[in-house]
Amino acid sequence: MCGIVGFIGNEQAAPILLEGLSRLEYRGYDSAGVAVFDGETGTLAVHKAKGRLQVLSDQLHGGADLNSTVGVGHTRWATHGAPSDVNSHPQVSRSGRIAVVHNGIIENYAELKAFLVAQGVPFTSETDTEVVAQLIEYFYEGDLLAAVSRVLHRIEGAYALGILCADCPEQIIAVRKDGPLILGYSQEGSFIASDVTAILRHTRQVSYMEDGEVAVLTRDGIRCYNRLMQPVEKEIVTVDWEINDAEKGGYEHFMFKEIMEQPDAIRRCISPRIREGEVVFEDFSLSENFIKAMRRIYIVACGSSYHVGMVGKYHLERLTRIPVEVALGSEFRYMDPIVDENTLVIVISQSGETLDTMAALREARRLGGHILSIVNVVGSSIARESDQVLYTWAGPEIAVATTKAYSTQLALLSLLSLWLARQLNTVPEKDYRAMLSAFQELPGKMEEVLSHRDSIQYFAAQYFNHNSIFFIGRNLDYALGLEGSLKLKEISYIHSEAYASGELKHGTISLIEDGTLVVALGTYGTLFAKAMSNVVEVKARGADVLALTTANHREEMSHTADAVMVIPDIHDLLLPSLGVVPLQLFAYYVALMRGCDIDKPRNLAKSVTVE
């Protein structure tokens, strides 16, 4: 979704803004813009362009044209008003002296706009953001902070704002409510950014703005205020991500790089948490009393993170015998969930900023649940609002389609299931040991799957022309199919559905005809015979079957399926962790052959910060 960068300091601002925005491109956007203070004319120079950031950057010769050391920049993902130059940010007030960049939605913008129009204020865009710029000017009487504060009492919704005023060019004002915004500190000056990747080249010293906080950035530092405009001391933390982690490093696509990084990401996530034959969570614990009293577990997430939850449900219920419900972040609030103080609510999110997941978290907290989140981005909103956090340590994930974050979330949730079972005494010692050693084997076995990627590429070449694909499987394989199907459709634009195999006969099988491609998942040994029956069933209706199974079952599957992708045998607990890799590769190669924009699929954003 929208990306914000702001800088005030001792360097030329525009190149820093454009470079920072290029680091935020992965979030998804449709237009871009910058505003800088032009010291010669005493005005704001605002430049905006629909389309790729490169268009804007070319127009400004990489920022060299704009001689200024203070400015704000933005990549816009359209909500109010179509993507266009005029609707791009920065949005300016009627005099052009106040410029605003915004991520989020101002929910009461129509009402505020009507008020301003009645006062004779002319509007030029269809955006909700213009209301903020116009309203600040309406209240401005020489004190920008006071005007911003009055506006904040009137606007409703979710927002991160960067505000520049030609009358006070020695400052940028930043505001955050339910939208990510971080502050960066360096010798060069002060920064704001939607996420840390935008400013990593300049600083690793950051602080995270809290909801309702206002920051005033100057060349010498940053002052912060709470909702009541009382000064607050911000903790400055050092980010341990490397700039190289957020670069392609010779790979054609971030997605492919991130697929290939998975074994290392799993090592980073899991190895420190298995010590001397035990699962050890240094960063987290649940009291014995809570664990004993725990009656129910909810897993709440969106998209691929939700699919992790679908696998997690099977693991948790099997291992702990505690009932688990998996809920979509966007549905949770509206389903009157049964949560009390004996409920563990596991919130899963790569970005830690997904608004629907965040809203679900808040609802679960209101109802008294204990919130444990599994998050990748350190210091993100979800991490900060949870009772406890387990970080996945996957490093920055740039491709819109998640791969290494999914894998680390899944491995961590599997490890958590095992840990809980150990605390509850519901797992026999022998099984516990077998599962622990499977975790140690996982990265190596992932490497083995990745080393055979040519065979997946070959299958992709055979099937990339299909217009509709079904993923079928039972139990763990069904949950795995949900992710395989999403991965394929989001980046290749092929219509694809995931079905629990047993459901085929209840309707879907009518869609199977000569040449329909069915990806049949049969990795779960316990249900392999059933998986085979379903393959026979769809073959009999003319389907082409591309199967996925383990080395153990390869031969049997080859007799019936048209093509077989194989993963090494591993303990059931980690079958989905291994099985997802060929499905990610299949989706990647299919999208590549169809010429799709793999890292930035149409209409999608990396971090979904609107409802």
Supply the residues annotated as catalytic. Answer: 2, 606
Among 302, 412, 418, 532, binds ligand F6R (CB under 6 A): 302
Rounded to the nearest whole angstrom, what is the least distance from the CB of residue 347 to ligand F6R in the complex? 9
| Residue 178 touches ligand F6R, criterion: CB under 6 A | no
Nearer to ligand F6R, 35 or 364 (CB): 364
Task: Look at the alpha carbons of 112, 114, 119, 122 in this order and tell me if their dihedral is positive or negative.
Answer: positive
Bridge partners (DSSP) of residue 598 are: none
- The answer, yes or no, to whether the previous bond of 576 is cis (omega within 30 of 0) is no
Calpha distance 426→419 (Å, rounded): 10
Rounded to the nearest whole angstrom, what is the least distance from the CB of residue 552 to ligand F6R in the complex? 30
| Residue 357 touches ligand F6R, criterion: CB under 6 A | yes
By CB under 6 A, the count of residues binding ligand F6R is 15
| Residue 354 touches ligand F6R, criterion: CB under 6 A | yes
| Residue 401 touches ligand F6R, criterion: CB under 6 A | yes
Span near ligand F6R by CB under 6 A; candidates 139-147, 179-187, 313-321, 345-353: 345-353
Token pair, residue 37, equals: 């203070």
Span near ligand F6R by CB under 6 A; candidates 80-88, 349-357, 511-519, 527-535: 349-357
**DSSP string covering 99-132:** EEEEEEEETTHHHHHHHHHHTT----SS-SHHHH
Calpha distance 131→98 (Å, rounded): 12
Phi, psi of 100 (to 5 degrees): -130, 135
| Residue 57 touches ligand F6R, criterion: CB under 6 A | no
Q: What amino acid occupies position 571?
A: H
CA atoms within 13 A on the CB side of 175: 28
Nearer to ligand F6R, 36 or 480 (CB): 480
- Measured at CB, which residue is nearest to ligand F6R? 303
Calpha distance 124→167 (Å, rounded): 22
Rounded to the nearest whole angstrom, what is the least distance from the CB of residue 303 to ligand F6R in the complex? 2
| Residue 350 touches ligand F6R, criterion: CB under 6 A | yes
| Residue 402 touches ligand F6R, criterion: CB under 6 A | yes
Nearer to ligand F6R, 48 or 268 (CB): 268
191 and 203 in contact (C-beta within 8 Å)? yes
Calpha distance 358→356 (Å, rounded): 5
Bridge partners (DSSP) of residue 251 are: none
Token pair, residue 537, equals: 């069933």
DSSP SS3 for 140: coil
Q: Which residues contact 196 (CB under 8 A, 6 or more apart)?
A: 182, 184, 204, 206, 239, 241
Among 178, 213, 261, 490, binds ligand F6R (CB under 6 A): 490
Binding mask 592-611 for ligand F6R (x = CB under 6 A): ---------------xx---
Span near ligand F6R by CB under 6 A; candidates 50-58, 298-306, 570-578, 579-587: 298-306
| Residue 408 touches ligand F6R, criterion: CB under 6 A | no
Nearer to ligand F6R, 129 or 351 (CB): 351
Nearer to ligand F6R, 528 or 589 (CB): 589
Bridge partners (DSSP) of residue 566 are: 549
User: Which chain residues interact with ligand F6R by CB under 6 A?
Assistant: 302-305, 349-351, 354, 357, 401-402, 486, 490, 607-608
